[in-house]
Structure 1
């Protein structure tokens, strides 16, 4: 099911969203001081390309000062605007029944787009449905 949802996601906006994150990552890597933001943009872009079956978790351990300061800078410069963009693109996705999982996936991208440093994207395990006899 995740593969089918990922293909639909890819066709109906995921590719453009990922390309936007990749373009921002390239721009951030060209400007040497913003390389950590570029790496975060590439990571979010890969997540935006194929979001179903994966989730975002906090990186284990203590959060560093630089990660916190980077997240504050990211939040003020780009994070708020990216989150607003995700909300505005999720709203039309919720209009159709087929688009509801896509809207949820779009909203799932908001936490990592607000504060990307100190986060890791991991595979989720499939949930088992208990069998009753």
Structure 2
């Protein structure tokens, strides 16, 4: 079932969500200091492209906290807000609820991507 969910997700909006993470990663990689953040964005774009069957476990250490704060200031808040709004709109219909839940998962990930583990 997760294969079908991922295919439908990719066709009906997952491509745009993953593309957003990829573009954000490219912007971060424009500077030497931002390369680690850009690499993390590239990893998370895989989750944004195909989120069904993946679980996000938040966590991290002090270094992750500093990076998460910088991330929120310089781009993470906008991605989280976009995903949360898309999730709310999708949850207005019964068919869209599974896709809305995946957007909420991406919003949670956008608020604190560093230190999070993906299973």
Q: TM-score, normalised by structure 1?
A: 0.82
1:6-38 per-residue CA deviation (whole Å, 9 max, x = no partner) reads 111111100011011111112212211011210
Aligned residues: 119
Q: What is the CA deviation profile of residues 32-58 of structure 1, one whole-angstrom value per residue up to 9, with x for unaligned ones?
A: 101121012112211011100001124
Contact 1:5 1:52 (8 Å CA) reproduced:
yes
Runs of 4+ with deviation above 3 angstroms: none
Alignment correspondent of 1:88: 85
Contact 2:56–2:109 at 8 Å: present in 1 too?
A: yes
Contact 1:15 1:49 in 2 (8 A): yes
User: Where is the helix percentage greater, Structure 1 or Structure 2?
Assistant: 2
Contact 2:58 2:112 in 1 (8 A): no
For the pair shown, the structure with the greater C-alpha radius of gyration is 1
**TM-score normalised by length of structure 2:** 0.91
Distance, in Å, in 2 between the alignment partners of 1:66 and 1:34 is 15
Counterpart Cα distance in 2 of 1:27 and 1:80: 15
The answer on whether the counterparts of 1:44 and 1:113 sit within 8 Å (CA) in structure 2 is: no
d(CA) in 1 for partners of 2:88 and 2:65? 30
